[in-house]
Amino acid sequence: MLRLPADNEIFRTITAPLRLALEARAPWELGAGFAAQPLLTLAPKGDGHPVLVLPLMFGTDINTLPLRRFLAGRGYAASAWGQGLNLGPRAGVFEACRERLAALSDEGRQQVSLVGWSLGGLFARALALAAPAEVRQVICLGTPIAADPPPAALWRTYEQLTGDPMGLPPALGDLHGRLPVPATSIYSRSDGIVAWAQSREPDGPQAENIEVESSHLGLGVHPLTLYAVADRLAQPLGQWQPFRRDGLLGLLYPEPGRG
């Protein structure tokens, strides 16, 4: 019997309608996030450093509020992006994000962790490339890191066709390569919007991928995501290590690189 690997293009095409339908579970994942709060108190606490949370496409700071409240409860100075509806790098938006990062880092006196959900993860990657000295680490949630064609190329094509300037600096280059800071991608194989194989960080000494079972729209509020984000943020500055799946965590989080 022919067995197709999960990252096979034919397999992804056949299962796309099912995965899209499974996005309807997002409200239950939000509820699970709230219900799991007593257990999530066991998640590692932080050192109080600032964390900037960037929303998904067509999302706002309302969508990231549960995640930011959770991080605040873990001891972080969690901040919203403050740019309203995320419609991509429209003129002035990236510059505003860059200014917010500079303010949170106190003009480079401390480093800021960036957590970006879907399209917000591309903003986080762009910020890490533009100001690596101000960024402690990047955590992407269901972000199309390795999309083909790359999102940056699509945005520049949009500029050329419409004359409507997008705000991504051309000097940043592609956003799907290695970052100059520690990078984590949290993704789901049943993501109905972004193909999971495109959400993985490229191999590197300070890059990792963590798999959870979630919808795309619920990924930022899923209890397993919340725990993994807290675990990653709690690492001491300059002592980044890959996510450990010890004990019960080994049952909840699949090993990276599985077929």
Query: Taking Cα atoms as reference points, which of 106, 176, 189, 178 lies closest to residue 147?
Result: 176
Query: Taking Cα atoms as reference points, which of 172, 154, 159 lies closest to residue 94?
Result: 172
**Where in the chain are the domains?**
14-40+50-232
State mean pLDDT over 17-43.
81
How far apart are the C-alpha atoms of 226 and 77, rounded to whole Å?
16
State mean pLDDT over 60-83.
96
Q: What is the DSSP string of 176-227?
A: SS--SS-EEEEE-TT-SSS-GGGSPPPP-TTEEEEE----STTTTT-HHHHH
Strand order in the sheet with 77-80: 77-80, 50-54, 112-117, 135-141, 183-187, 207-211
Question: If pLDDT is split at 50, 70 and 90, which confidence band does 27 have?
Answer: confident
Question: If pLDDT is split at 50, 70 and 90, which confidence band does 92 have?
Answer: confident
Confirm whether pTM is higher than 0.85.
yes
pLDDT tens digits, one per residue of 179-229: 999 999 999 998 988 888 889 998 899 999 999 999 999 999 999 999 999
How far apart are the C-alpha atoms of 12 and 195, rounded to whole Å?
8
Q: Which of 98-102, 192-196, 244-248 has the highest mean pLDDT?
A: 98-102
pLDDT score for 15: 56
**CATH code, 14-40+50-232:** 3.40.50.1820
How far apart are the C-alpha atoms of 124 and 140, rounded to whole Å?
8
CA distances in angstroms from 222 to 12, 30, 52, 100, 145, listed in the order given? 23, 6, 18, 27, 20
Residue 249's SS3 state is helix
| Gyration radius of the chain over CA positions | 18
Q: What is the DSSP string of 9-62?
A: HHHHHHHHHHHHHGGGGHHHHHHHHHHTHHHHTTSPP----EEEEEPPTT--TT
Task: Indicate the average pLDDT of the chain.
Answer: 86
Task: State both tokens at 158.
Answer: 């949009």
